[in-house]
Copies of this chain bind each other. A is one copy, B any other.
């Protein structure tokens, strides 16, 4: 195991990025790199070192669950404005682990069937099973973000949802799911540059949606909705983390660090054999 200091961190990302009492999103500089004092090129090496740790911890987590259906799991929840880098996190941080241990779900605009149910219905079905690292690319928080900004539900229903989310997450934590909630925070100027690049490059056109500009025009209202999400749902057992994300490389390092924290907190162990090893060696030798 490589100590965190050797991966370039001067402080605990889990503490530095955590949304605590008195947090104000408006005070976060999207260009900052809290806790990481090294340069971009060092970041690449540190990310690689972290991948090896993540890989082993993920395998242990999975192994531990094979004989124990109540074993822990991890759930990474990713929220952000368009182009903030959720896809890059999935590709470069999650993509470095064994696909067999990952349960990735990209929540889209709800279908008519999903809309007939409570907003948590489709989410409950995707909670990671024992031993898995679940990844929600967008999540139940859409229902209090775009849901609030676009008034897709009455105000009293939006209001009800914060409590429902806390209850839901509390139940997950009680079942052994470590929840890592992350908002990737970019500046509106950075978004403009990124969307502009998608428009410049024909191989990026498919990533552009005219609706992205419609949402962009509501930036201040989204920031308010995020602020309320943090105030209402950053709990002790399932806190939010806001990661400055104008520098993609920093955001990836930070998400990786939060995942490593969660896994180190679980400290998964190779399970003991459930069979008689010597007896099996003899059977194998005779086969």
Contacts and interface: CB of A to CB of B under 8 A. Distances in A.
Interface of A: 63-64, 66-67, 87, 90-91, 94-95, 97-100, 102, 104, 106, 137, 192, 195-196, 199, 202-203, 205-208, 210, 213, 216-217, 270-273, 275, 277, 280-281, 283-284, 287
A272 B204 CA distance: 10
B208 A280 contact: yes
Nearest to A65: B206
A102 B99 contact: yes
A277 B137 CA distance: 27
A108 to B, nearest CB: 11
B205 A273 contact: yes
Q: What is the total number of copies of this protein in its complex?
A: 2
A195 to B, nearest CB: 6
Contact of A280 (B99, B203, B213, B281): B213
A271 B63 contact: no
Given A192-B284, A199-B277, A217-B287, A206 B63 contact: yes
Given A192-B287, A195-B284, A284-B196, A91 B95 contact: no
B95 A271 contact: no
Contact of A95 (B63, B98, B277): B98
A280 B202 CA distance: 14
Contacts of A284: 192, 195-196, 199, 213, 216
A244 to B, nearest CB: 22
Nearest to A209: B275
A60 B32 CA distance: 34
Given A104-B100, A284-B196, A203 B270 contact: yes
Given A90-B100, A205-B273, 10 more contacts: A63-B203, A64-B206, A90-B99, A91-B98, A91-B100, A203-B270, A208-B273, A210-B280, A213-B280, A213-B287
A100 to B, nearest CB: 6
